[in-house]
Amino acid sequence: MRPTGARLLNILVPVKRAVDYAVKIRVNPQQTGVDLNVKHSMNPFDEIAVEEAVRLRERLKEAVTSIKVVTIGPPKAAETLRTALAMGADAALHVEIPESAPAPEPLGVARALAAVIEQQRGAGNAVDLVIMGKQAIDDDAGQTGQMLAGLLGWAQATFASRVDLDVAAGAATVLREIDGGAEEIRCRLPLVVTTDLRLNEPRYASLPNIMKAKKKPIEKLAPADLSVDLTPRLETLKVTEPPVRVGGSKVQNVDELVAKLKEAGFTAV
Amino acid sequence: MAQCRLIIPWPAYRANGIRLPPARPRRFCPPATGTFSHSHPAARAFSTTAHRRIMDTTGFTDTQLDVRAAVSQICAPFSNTYWQEHDETQTDPADFHAALAAGGWLGIALPESLGGSGLGISEATIMMQTIAESGAGMAGAQAVHGNVYATQPLARFGSPAQRESVIPRVVKGEWRVCFGVTEPNAGLDTLRLRTVARKVKTERGDMYRITGQKIWITCAQVARKMMLLARTTPVEDVKKPSEGLSLFCIDLDRTKPGLEMRRIKKMGGRAVDANEVFFDDYEIPADTLVGEEDKGFKIILHGMNAERCLLAGEALGLGYAALARAAAYARERVVFGRPIGMNQAIAHPLADAYMRLEGAKLATYHAARLFDASKADTSITPHALGVACNSAKYMAAEAAFAACERAVLTHGGMGYAAEFDVERWFRECLVPRIAPVSREMILNYIGEKVLELPRSY
């Protein structure tokens, strides 16, 4: 039985529009980045985050008051929000940046998310739980969740492969994937969880839910509304393709092998 | 705040009986390190379907594109190997039907009040195209086609009891529906059909007894319901042959006397059964009648233009799938020290096939748009709609045939091997050329109705 007066959960899921995982990426001719004129979809780790939020609601029923998704990105990132809404999120927030603007960096994104969370708190929808991908598959920075927890002074449970919530106690038990094993931690809400691959397997949006998602609200904000500056602090000097792999060759015997290794600069330790 | 409780090394993690989630069989295959990489082969290995779709998608509505993206996702785990095996063993793709039903896709064009999504033929057509294009071909399309299309007259003309008892179950995938119109001696000349429904009074209430034969009934082996067209008044007793026919939504109860079905061996789409169905005084309750007695033909006519659009979409899907595959092969296959696609004798027929498909695509989605708009817009005449839908079906079927044939030829000897899929699609692309109306009959129709040439038959 749940003690009366227990907090109900508001979950925030930040998502990112990224180059689709199945696209073969190419460096652009100016060598400033990759060709972005290709299929985009929701960062797969973020899909896992949305799925986890929806599953938490399926498990905890009314204890989850709201699932809100947020993205910081160009106008087209609204498609990504629709996908999340079709998977089961209730509402969406789009911090829109111009198509031509440089991609925001983890610190900028974390600051914007912190501002969103502050704003939500002010509006009486205090966020208790942030679930987000451990990294995006485009820049693979893997920093935003940690930075966000740091900025907010919240607990963080990164690389989660299982999340159990105890709403009454305002705590979560999270199994984390770490080098060489798994680690189980218990932390208090509010909490930032970043998702690892094995947390769940995201659902396909059903047709009725895709149609319902079209009617769900997407609120639009500009970075200035949050008083955050998304100007990059890093400068990309050059992006190049990895060197083309050269095929190997067969050797007749050990002597030849050793000779070839020496030729290639390998020496015995 | 976060306090560490225990660290379990991996082997113990397994030994402790903590079940690891199964490896993802779909969507993306995680490399062991748990990171994604665009270049990692595993990220692509889960599907053999070409990711590159060649159809130009400008001009489609957002909803159509959403349908295309979402249906592609559902189809992705049903690989070409799956369809090759089901074709070879003639096994019904029941799990494919179930996957689409689970996502609510069978109700795409059915009313929301009955569990559907209330979209139009424009959306249903792109769904069928996407299914065929995924590699599933006509087999995949036919596994669901009847449920999407044959339920339309029921949704529109059925009684509330009929609608509510049947349609939600079809949408959920619990029941499957087949369409029973064609007869061995009444193919294109539907009005000559000889299957008779005789009304009788029994101790079980009013009944009809069905006697006759139906042919080319797709999915009859797995269907629970059949939309059956039968004659309730002899042709001699009606003013026009289009009168006296009635539509029924009947149970296919194989345990009852008077019902027999025989599977037809066929050229393509072998995963899906096509049948001869024999009725011999097969008894059905009188309340299975849909709409008014003797007015069945008008009800059936209503759905025919829609079916043309869906078939056109399916043909386009086959054509684009085959062409994309042929182009990929022509880029990679090296003969005489260069890719064969460098030879214009290979490249030009493929380029030509592409333009034919794009033209047919415009005709198809134009017809579908007209069909949907005609419900509210009275300026769209039945004539204009009929011409648009028939033309679209004709053009899409011919464009698909050209694309599939050239895809086989581009592959040379390998095009003849089942492993390369193009032979399967080639076998299947004959279906939209023949059904639901042959290309010759469409040419007759345009000649007569548009060009006002004298009728030849």
Kindly provide the ipTM of the predicted complex, given to two decimals: 0.81
pLDDT at residue number B52: 64
pLDDT at B40 over 80: no
Omega within 30 of 0 (cis) for the link into B339: no
Q: What are phi and psi of B173, to 5 degrees?
A: 90, 5
Q: Binning pLDDT at 50, 70 and 90, where does residue A257 land? A: very high
Contact assignment for A184 to B102 by CB distance below 8 Å: no
Cα–Cα–Cα angle for B122, B71, B399, nearest 5°? Answer: 55
Q: Which residues of B touch A177 (CB under 8 A)?
A: 34
Q: Is B34 on the interface with A (CB under 8 A)?
A: yes
Residue B104: its chain A contacts at CB < 8 A? Answer: 206-209
Q: Which of residues 48-67 of A touch B (CB under 8 A)?
A: none
With a pLDDT cut of 90, the percent of chain B lying above it is 82
End-to-end CA distance of chain B: 87
Q: Which two tokens stand for residue B114?
A: 């009955």
Rounded Cα–Cα distance for residues A178 and B10 (Å): 10
Residue with the larger pLDDT of the pair A184 and B34:
A184
Q: What is the pLDDT of residue A7?
A: 63
- Of A88, A54, A46, nearest in space to A71 by CA: A46
| pLDDT, position B51 | 53
How close is the nearest chain A Cα to the Cα of B29, in Å? 10
Question: Can you tell me the distance from the alpha carbon of B117 to that of A211, in angstroms, rounded to the nearest whole number?
Answer: 7
What distance lies between CA B109 and its chain's CA centroid?
Answer: 13
**Locate tokens 């369409």: which residue?**
B179
**In the block, residue with structure tokens 């050059």:** A238
pLDDT confidence of residue B302? 76
How many Å apart are CA B245 and CA B231, to the nearest integer? Answer: 4
The predicted pLDDT at position B32 comes to 37
Taking each helix axis from N to C end, the angle separating A106-122 and A144-152, rounded to the nearest 10 degrees, works out to 40
- Number of other residues whose CB lies within 10 A of the CB of residue B263: 12
The rounded radius of gyration (Å) of the Cα atoms in chain B is 24
pTM of the model: 0.85
Q: What is the pLDDT of residues B253-311, one digit of tens each?
A: 999 999 999 999 999 999 999 999 999 999 999 999 999 999 999 998 878 899 999 99
What is the per-residue pLDDT across A229-255, written as a single tens digit (0 to 9) for each?
Answer: 999 999 999 999 998 888 888 999 999
Chain B nearest CA to A211, separation (Å): 7
Question: Which is nearest to B55 in space by CA: B327, B343, B446?
Answer: B327
- Torsion angles phi and psi, residue B349, rounded to 5: -60, -35
Percentages of chain B per state (helix, strand, coil), in multiples of 5? 50, 15, 30
pLDDT at B37 over 70: no
Q: What residue has token string 């609601």?
A: A57
- The predicted pLDDT at position B36 comes to 39
- Residues 133-192 of chain A whose Cβ lies under 8 A from any Cβ of chain B: 135, 137, 140, 154-157, 159, 161, 177-178, 180-188
Q: What is the per-residue pLDDT across A225-234, written as a single tens digit (0 to 9) for each?
A: 999 999 999 9
The residue of chain A with its CA nearest to that of B37 is A137
**Nearest residue on chain A to B47, alpha-carbon basis:** A22
Structure tokens at A231: 């100007």
The C-alpha of B322 sits at a distance from chain A's nearest C-alpha, in angstroms, of 20
Average pLDDT over residues B400-408: 98
CA distance A89 to B202: 56
CB count in 10 Å sphere of residue A171: 15
pLDDT digits over B202-218, tens only? 999 999 999 999 999 99
Mean pLDDT across the stretch B130-141?
98
- Residue A63 to residue A58: CA distance in whole angstroms: 10
Strands A218-221, A91-96: pairing is parallel
Contacts of B335 (CB under 8 A, 6+ apart): none
